[in-house]
C-alpha cells in the first residue's frame, strides 16, 4: 500500500472509500487525477475488484491515455483489453457497435465530424428552400445538438411556432440522411446509447453487472444525456465515484450543467462527500485572487483552497493605451523575461475570451520575430488533404457514407461533374439505395448495371470509380492493414500528382498525408474501425504536446486542464470579459466568473492581467470600461506596472506609429481611491443598496461622448447599467458607477 503514503488526509479518504456513491469536489490543482488513478488501483489491489468490472470515463482522449499510464505504473501490469477507460463518446461508440443489430444503422457506421454535420444541414436547408440568413446552418446545428443532449428525437421536439416547426423538419430530414449514410454524429452516440439501454432492460442489466464500479472525471461538465446514461449503467448497485468542481464548469454553451452535482446528491442521498482543498499547483496569492472572483458566484460549495508553496508574487496589472499596445506589451514582456534568462518560452500562456483576440498577438509575435503556438487554429484533421484521405478511408469502410462520397467523388478530378453526381443521387433516391451502393453496382456490372442508362455521359467515369471503391472496400484490403489500404488509395487516385499540380504548398500538404499514414501505422493491430473512430472523436487538447518551448496562445475555454508557470489574461474589459452576452443573464454572468477563475488557476507562479483603454471596432476606436471582475480583487494582492517606465517600448514607434506611451490611471485608483464621482456616490442609498438614479428619457452628459438620452436603466449584477443614445457616437451601454455620467437638468 506504499502508493497511498503520499496522499493528504482528504485524498486518502477518497481513495479508500468503501462501496456506494462518492462525490469528490476537487479544487483546481488539488490532485484529482492522482485520486482517480489511485482509487482504481485501490479497487483492484485492495478490494479485489477485477479490472474487467471497472468503467472509468474522462472527457478527453489525452486524459484517458494519461490515466491508463498512471494506473499501469501503480499496478505494474497492463489493463488494456480488460478495463473500459475512455471518453463518454468512445464508450458509447463501443456499446453501439456491439449492439448494432438493435439499431437503425450497421456496426460499420461512421461518425460525422462537425464540418460534415454542418455541410449536411446546409444541404437540407437548401433542399427545403429555406432562407439560410434566417436559418443559419451553424445555428440550426446547435439547436439540433441541444435537442439531442436533452434526449429529444425529432418527434419529441416542440413545434409551437414557425421556427420550431422548421427546425423539426430539418432535424427529421437530417436524421434520415444520417441513417441512409449508415452514419451518426457525436450527439447520436449518447442519444442512441441512452435509448438502447432504456428500451432494452436485458442489455442494460448486462452492462450494469459488467461495470460494478463506475468512475467519472470532470463531472461538472456532464450534460443531461451523460448523466442519464450514468444512472442507467449504475443501476441498483450504486457504486459510482465522481470527481468534479462546480467552480470549473465552463461549457454551458454546449450543454454542460454543473447542477448535475446537486442532482447527484439528491439522487444518491447517502453519498460520501469529500472536499479536496489543498492545491499543489499555485502559490497562495494566485489562489487568493482566484477565490476573490469565484466567491461572488451563488449556488456553490465553499472551498478554502490553500497551498504550501508560499505566498508568491503579487498579481501584475497593466492598462494599455489600445489593443495593439496591449498585444505589444505582452510580447515584449515575454521576450524580456526569456532574454534575461528568467523564463523559457514554454513557461507562458496568453489567454483571451474570444478567438479573434489572437490576431494582434500573432502580429506582435511576428513583428518581434518570436515563435509561438496557437491553439484553436486549423486543426491537423481539418486540413483539406487530410480530410480527403479520411473521406476515402471512411468510404471504403462504409460505401453508404454520402458526405464522404460527395467530398471525393471528383477529387482528384476524374470527369464526374455536378450533373453526373446528381444523376447518381437521383437513381439512388428512386431505388431506395445509398449513392455509394449504386456506384458499387456500376463498378461491378458496368454497362450491364440497371443504373447504367440513367447515368448519361457520366456512366463510364462513375463505373470506373465504382470499380475502385469495390476493390478498396473488399475484405482483403479492409482487413489487410490501414496503411496498405491508404497506399492503395493514394496510388489509384494519383493523389500526390494531384497535390503537385494544385499549388506551391505541395510539400507541406504531402507532408500532412504522410503524417496521417504514420498515425494509421500505429493502429495496424486495432483495425480501420478504431482508427476512424479515434479520428472522429479527437479534440484540440488531444493534439497538444507538453514539451513545447514556445509561448502558447489560446482561449480561456481551451486552457481547461492545463497549467503554466506564467499566465497572461488579456482583454479585461466589460463586454469582453465578462462578455456582453452575459449582462442580462445571471447564469451566464456566473459562467463568465467561472471562466475567469479557470484562467487564473492555470498559473503556477505568476499572473499578469492586461486590458486596453480603447479597442478598434470596424475601424473606429471604441472606449472601453475595465472589467467589473477587477473590482473583486483585493488591492493588496495587485501591483501595477507603469507604462511610462517602459523606455524600450516607448522608443519603438515603428510598430504602431503615432501611439503614445503615457501613464494611465490604474484600475485600483479608478475603483477604490480618491473621491467618488457623483454617479458613484448617488448609486447607493444609506443602507448600501444599489438604486437607480437614471430613468428613460433623462438627458445626460458624458466627458468623452458628450450629450445623450437614456434609453434604458436597470440593475445588473449589483450595478446600475444604462443604455444611452449619444448624439455623436450612437448607442453605448455603461455601468453608472464607472462612467462619470451626469444628468442634465
- Positions annotated as catalytic residues are 32-33, 217-218, 248, 602
Pairing of strands 719-726, 730-735: antiparallel
Are 648 and 332 within 8 A, CB to CB? yes
CA distance 435 to 490: 22
Are 614 and 622 within 8 A, CB to CB? yes
CA distance 382 to 404: 14
How many residues would you count in the chain? Answer: 745
Cα–Cα nearest to 6, from 89, 54, 74: 74
Query: What are the residue ranges of helices labelled H in 503-558?
Result: 506-522, 528-537
3-class SS of residue 133: coil
CA distance 255 to 143: 11
CA distance 611 to 627: 9
Rg value, the chain, Cα: 29
3-class SS of residue 41: helix
Pairing of strands 699-702, 706-716: antiparallel
Are 296 and 632 within 8 A, CB to CB? yes
H or E element, residue 440: helix 435-445
Are 735 and 574 within 8 A, CB to CB? yes
Query: What are the residue ranges of helices labelled H in 414-527?
Result: 418-431, 435-445, 459-472, 475-479, 482-493, 495-502, 506-522
Are 700 and 742 within 8 A, CB to CB? yes
- For the purposes of burial, counting CB atoms within 10 Å of the CB of 244, is it exposed (0-12), middle (13-18) or buried (19 or more)? buried
What DSSP string describes 65-130? HHHHHHHHHHHTS--TTTSEEEEHHHHHHHHHHHTGGGSSS-TT-EE--HHHHHHHHHHHHHHTT-
CA distance 123 to 561: 37
Q: Quote the longest CA-to-CA distance of the chain.
A: 92
Cα–Cα nearest to 79, from 37, 47, 19, 17: 37
The DSSP 8-state label assigned to residue 687 in this structure reads T
Is the backbone peptide bond immediately before 412 cis, with ω within 30 degrees of 0? Answer: yes
Total Cβ atoms within 10 A of residue 704: 12
Total Cβ atoms within 10 A of residue 45: 15
CA distance 256 to 540: 18
CA distance 252 to 337: 37
Three-state SS sequence of 529-582 = HHHHHHHHHCCCHHHCCCCCCCCEEEECCCCCCCCEEEEEECCCECEECCEHHH
CA distance 305 to 93: 38
CA distance 277 to 291: 12
Are 224 and 148 within 8 A, CB to CB? no
Q: Which CA distances in Å does 28 have to 86, 259, 561, 705?
A: 22, 19, 9, 43
What residue ranges in 95-235 does DSSP mark as E strands?
110-111, 183-184, 213-216
Would you say the C-alpha torsion 528, 530, 535, 537 has a positive or negative sign? positive
Are 741 and 700 within 8 A, CB to CB? yes
Are 112 and 183 within 8 A, CB to CB? yes
> Which residues, at least 6 apart from 16, have a Cβ–Cβ distance to it below 8 Å?
4, 42, 46
Amino acid at each position: 500500500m506504499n502508493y497511498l503514503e503520499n496522499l493528504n488526509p482528504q485524498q486518502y479518504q477518497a481513495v479508500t472509500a468503501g462501496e456506494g456513491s462518492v462525490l469528490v469536489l476537487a479544487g483546481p490543482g488539488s490532485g484529482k487525477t492522482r485520486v482517480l488513478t489511485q482509487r482504481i488501483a485501490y479497487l483492484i489491489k485492495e478490494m479485489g475488484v477485477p479490472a474487467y468490472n471497472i468503467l472509468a470515463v474522462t472527457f478527453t482522449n489525452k486524459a484517458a491515455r494519461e490515466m491508463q499510464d498512471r494506473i499501469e505504473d501503480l499496478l505494474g501490469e497492463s489493463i488494456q483489453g480488460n478495463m473500459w477507460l475512455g471518453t463518454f463518446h468512445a464508450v458509447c461508440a463501443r456499446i453501439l457497435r456491439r449492439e448494432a443489430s438493435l439499431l437503425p444503422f450497421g456496426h460499420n457506421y461512421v461518425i460525422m465530424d462537425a464540418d460534415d454535420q454542418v455541410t449536411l444541414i446546409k444541404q437540407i436547408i437548401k433542399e427545403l428552400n429555406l432562407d439560410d440568413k434566417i436559418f443559419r446552418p451553424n445555428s440550426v446545428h446547435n439547436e439540433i445538438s441541444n435537442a439531442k443532449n436533452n434526449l429529444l428525437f425529432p418527434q419529441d421536439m416542440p413545434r409551437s411556432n414557425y421556427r420550431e416547426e422548421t427546425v423539426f423538419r430539418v432535424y427529421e430530414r437530417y436524421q434520415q440522411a444520417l441513417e441512409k449514410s449508415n452514419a451518426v454524429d457525436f450527439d447520436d452516440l449518447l442519444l442512441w446509447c441512452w435509448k438502447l439501454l432504456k428500451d432494452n432492460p436485458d442489455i442494460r442489466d448486462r452492462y450494469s453487472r459488467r461495470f460494478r464500479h463506475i468512475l467519472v472525471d470532470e463531472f461538472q461538465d456532464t450534460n443531461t444525456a451523460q448523466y442519464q446514461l450514468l444512472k442507467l449503467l449504475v443501476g441498483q448497485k450504486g457504486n459510482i465515484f465522481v470527481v468534479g468542481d462546480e467552480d470549473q464548469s465552463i461549457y454551458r454553451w454546449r450543454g454542460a450543467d454543473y447542477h448535475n452535482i446537486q442532482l447527484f446528491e439528491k439522487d444518491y442521498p447517502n453519498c460520501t462527500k469529500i472536499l479536496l482543498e489543498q492545491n499543489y499547483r499555485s502559490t497562495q496569492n494566485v489562489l487568493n485572487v482566484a477565490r476573490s472572483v469565484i466567491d461572488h458566484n451563488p449556488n456553490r460549495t465553499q472551498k478554502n483552497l490553500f497551498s504550501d508553496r508560499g505566498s508568491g508574487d503579487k498579481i501584475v496589472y497593466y492598462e494599455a493605451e489600445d489593443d495593439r499596445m496591449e498585444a505589444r506589451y505582452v510580447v515584449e514582456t515575454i521576450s524580456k523575461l526569456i532574454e534575461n534568462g528568467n523564463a523559457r518560452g514554454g513557461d507562458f500562456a496568453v489567454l483571451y475570451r474570444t478567438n479573434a483576440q489572437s490576431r494582434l498577438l500573432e502580429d506582435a509575435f511576428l513583428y518581434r520575430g518570436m515563435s509561438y503556438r496557437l491553439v484553436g487554429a486549423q486543426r491537423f484533421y481539418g486540413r483539406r488533404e487530410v480530410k480527403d484521405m479520411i473521406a476515402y478511408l471512411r468510404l471504403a469502410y462504409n460505401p453508404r457514407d454520402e458526405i464522404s462520397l460527395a467530398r471525393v467523388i471528383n477529387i482528384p478530378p476524374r470527369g464526374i461533374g455536378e450533373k453526373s453526381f446528381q444523376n447518381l443521387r437521383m437513381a439512388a433516391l428512386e431505388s431506395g439505395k445509398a449513392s455509394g451502393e449504386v456506384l458499387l453496382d456500376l463498378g461491378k456490372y458496368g454497362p450491364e448495371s440497371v443504373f447504367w442508362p440513367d447515368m448519361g455521359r457520366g456512366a463510364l467515369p462513375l463505373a470506373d470509380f465504382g470499380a475502385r471503391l469495390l476493390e478498396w472496400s473488399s475484405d482483403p484490403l479492409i482487413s489487410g492493414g490501414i496503411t496498405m489500404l491508404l497506399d492503395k488509395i493514394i496510388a489509384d487516385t494519383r493523389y500526390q500528382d494531384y497535390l503537385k499540380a494544385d499549388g506551391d504548398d505541395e510539400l507541406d500538404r504531402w507532408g500532412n498525408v504522410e503524417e496521417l499514414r504514420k498515425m494509421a501505422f500505429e493502429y495496424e493491430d486495432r483495425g480501420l474501425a478504431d482508427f476512424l473512430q479515434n479520428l472522429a472523436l479527437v479534440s484540440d487538447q488531444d493534439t497538444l504536446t507538453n514539451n513545447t518551448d514556445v509561448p502558447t496562445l489560446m482561449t480561456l475555454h481551451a486552457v481547461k486542464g492545463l497549467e503554466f508557470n506564467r499566465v497572461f489574461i488579456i482583454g479585461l474589459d466589460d463586454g469582453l470579459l465578462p462578455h456582453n452576452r452575459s449582462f442580462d443573464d445571471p447564469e451566464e454572468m456566473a459562467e463568465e466568473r467561472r471562466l475567469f477563475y479557470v484562467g487564473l488557476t492555470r498559473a503556477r507562479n505568476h499572473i499578469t492581467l492586461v486590458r486596453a483603454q480603447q479597442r478598434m471596432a470596424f475601424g473606429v476606436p471604441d472606449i472601453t470600461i475595465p472589467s467589473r471582475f477587477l473590482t473583486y480583487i483585493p488591492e493588496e494582492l495587485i501591483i501595477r506596472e507603469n507604462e511610462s517606465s517602459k523606455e524600450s517600448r516607448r522608443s519603438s514607434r515603428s510598430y504602431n506609429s503615432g501611439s503614445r506611451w503615457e501613464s494611465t490611471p490604474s484600475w485600483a485608483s479608478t475603483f477604490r481611491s480618491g473621491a467618488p464621482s457623483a454617479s458613484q456616490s448617488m448609486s447607493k442609498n444609506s443602507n448600501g443598496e444599489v438604486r437607480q438614479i437614471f430613468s428613460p428619457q433623462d438627458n445626460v452628459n458624458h466627458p468623452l461622448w458628450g450629450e445623450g438620452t437614456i434609453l434604458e436603466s436597470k440593475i445588473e449584477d449589483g450595478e446600475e447599467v444604462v443604455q444611452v443614445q449619444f448624439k455623436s457616437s450612437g448607442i453605448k451601454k455603461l455601468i453608472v458607477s464607472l462612467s462619470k455620467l451626469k444628468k442634465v437638468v
